[in-house]
Amino acid sequence: MNPAARRKLKSAIFVGCCMFSVLVALVPLAFILFFVVREGIQALNLDFFIRMPRPVGEPGGGMFNAIVGTLIIAGLGSLFAIPIGIMSGIYMAEYGGSRMSSTVRFAADTLNGVPSIVIGVFIYTIAVLPFRQFSALAGGLALGVMMIPIIARTTEELLLLVPGTMREGALALGATRARAVFSVVLPAALPGIVTGVVLALARIAGETAPLLFTAFGNRFFSTTLTQPIASLTVMVFTYAISPYPDWHRQAWAGALVLVSIVLVCSLLARIATRRLERMHGR
């Protein structure tokens, strides 16, 4: 074999390996989605959404309390994270060159990389230990802390995408900086920011580790913010590692619901970003 042919062969093998690695990653994805849908569909029914968990041994029942719990905790988290995230994003975009803003950017990236279980321990020590009480509030706080860096960075990125001429126009008309940001730049970037927040929310709703010892879990229905509260993820975890086949069935149903939330949000976000890109393109 002459050297040129050998080099071509090598190149072809390399290209083949790259294609193969895409396949290697997509197979588990297909595998996971397939199993979650197959097992989940069998167990998913109306009862799952509107009934309370039954005691061990009694078949049936649902996860109504956990669904409400997840909504409450995620809602609390966003309430806490959205203002902080968006305002810090504005700061980083507006004062990008300052030392403070690169420090904050660094802190956001760091916080993003902190393992979720460590966030759980942190919130436990500041929001559970002093009151000797697991609570929905602590759970919301934990999820909020995880959302802040994602929202801040998304906001910053999207604000920087807004054409500089728009804010310059506002400033030239005599607007203050705050006015230019809040009534011109931020509204222009808002659809993208909303998309980012929805994505962050979907991702955070699937978190388990930070809730284990903050919101803890609850077999009963509760909307009291100062009491332990159930969540879909923690309930799926408890059910999945239990020895009861009926609980396994329900855990699959819970997993299907979680995956559907993520899937729907990602698809919506993708459609929204596409539309935005087309609008900007015109």
Partner 1 sequence: MKSRVSRSDFAFRIGTGAFALFLLVIVVSIAVVLTRESMLSITKFGLAFWRTQIWDPVAGEFGALPFIWGTLYSSILALILATPVALGIAVFISELCPARLRQPLVFLTELLAAIPSIVYGMWAIFVLVPGIRALEVWTPSALKQLPLFAGPPLGVGMLSAGVVLAIMVIPFTSSVAREVLKSVPMSQREGAYALGATRFEAIQAALFYARTGIVGAVMLGFGRALGETMAVTMVIGNNPRIALSLFAPQYTMAAVIANEFTEADTDLYRDALVEIGLVLFIITLIINVLSRTLIWSMNRAGSSASQQAAQPAKAAA
Show the binding pattern over residues 149-168: x = contacts partner 1 (CB under 8 A), - = does not. Answer: x--x----------------
SS3 content of the chain, % helix, strand, coil (to 5): 80, 0, 20
Shortest CB 163 distance to partner 1, Å:
20
Q: Which of 1, 2, 3, 28 binds partner 1 (CB under 8 A)?
A: 28
R_g over Cα of the chain: 23
Sequence-distant (≥ 6) Cβ neighbours of residue 164 within 8 angstroms: none
- Rounded Cα gap, residues 46 and 50, in angstroms: 6
Coil, strand, or helix at residue 44? coil
108: contact with partner 1 by CB under 8 A? yes
266: contact with partner 1 by CB under 8 A? yes
Q: Are 52 and 65 in contact (CB under 8 A)?
A: yes
Shortest CB 239 distance to partner 1, Å:
9
Question: Of the listed pieces 51-59, 71-79, 110-118, 157-165, which binds partner 1 according to CB under 8 A?
Answer: 110-118
Question: Of the listed pieces 48-56, 66-74, 158-166, 169-177, which binds partner 1 according to CB under 8 A?
Answer: 169-177
Shortest CB 37 distance to partner 1, Å:
11
Shortest CB 141 distance to partner 1, Å:
10
C-alpha pair distances (Å), 143 with each of 183, 210, 219: 30, 7, 21
